[in-house]
Copies of this chain bind each other. A is one copy, B any other.
């Protein structure tokens, strides 16, 4: 049986890192936007070794070994799928640019493989497996749980569903983004994070007291400045959007600027356009 899952992309606006020995307890607090641009994963039984075909945003197709995407490999191992699987991953978004693509691949693999191989796990169990895989791979701390929920998730407490606490801002909007390059989440998280954590706590407290989209973007922009994470291109884009009266910030962690409405277009950029995804990760019908 073949099964397909869609997982929205997720730009984190601000966060604080919460490491833990147990990857289901590790994670982050923060807030971000789930996006209608995301990742589709189709899983089906196949003969021989596990094969992965990745189609990127430009339509280029590439054969990969599952080991080249750590979080996906871990999910397959957890589901005891060591061979005999064919994965087709269709990514609307670039890797390494702050859209939580690795988390989306992991969660999509978990949802689709559970259906294709009749593993009979619940949604929370699948989210837990994907979250732990993303944390272990060092590619994400909170994208998976946010992608599972959809909308504009506020991660109040870190970790997988059994231990975390999530609220959300009730909002829909057009979202624009421009990506300037790649950036390694693992490298930033391996560095000094005290300043980042303090700035993340302040941003979260602002958004909790006023859970609106405008307040999320405002807190995100301030966080990026305070945590000293702004890249020169992202800073320039955010300032250009602000000069036109719009609202933008930077995807954490990627060299990507995002704006609500027509912010980047108004500022003269030629952005990709999507919207806030209301549904969260879903198995396709």
Q: Which of A206-224 contact B (CB under 8 A)?
A: 208, 210-212
A252-278 CB contact bits vs B (8 Å, 1 = yes)? 000000000000000000000001101
Q: Which residues of B contact A121 (CB under 8 A)?
A: 170, 211
Q: Which of A102-117 contact B (CB under 8 A)?
A: 111, 114-115
Structural contact, A170 and B111, CB atoms closer than 8 A: yes
Structural contact, A167 and B124, CB atoms closer than 8 A: yes
A171-B283, A172-B284, A285-B172 known; A122+B275 contact, CB < 8 A? no
A40 at the interface (CB under 8 A from B): no
Q: Which of A133-164 contact B (CB under 8 A)?
A: 150-151, 154, 161
Additional A-B contacts beyond A114-B170, A122-B167, A173-B285 (12; CB < 8 A): A111-B170, A122-B154, A122-B168, A122-B169, A122-B208, A123-B167, A123-B168, A124-B168, A125-B167, A172-B282, A275-B285, A278-B279
Structural contact, A170 and B283, CB atoms closer than 8 A: yes
Q: Which residues of B contact A111 (CB under 8 A)?
A: 170
Name the residue on B nearest A154 (C-beta).
Answer: B122
Interface size in chain A (residues, C-beta < 8 A): 35
Structural contact, A122 and B172, CB atoms closer than 8 A: no
A126 at the interface (CB under 8 A from B): yes
Name the residue on B nearest A153 (C-beta).
Answer: B123
Partner of A170, one of B123, B154, B170, B208: B123
Q: How far is the CB of A146 from chain B (nearest CB, A)?
A: 13
Name the residue on B nearest A278 (C-beta).
Answer: B282
Q: How far is the CB of A18 from chain B (nearest CB, A)?
A: 20
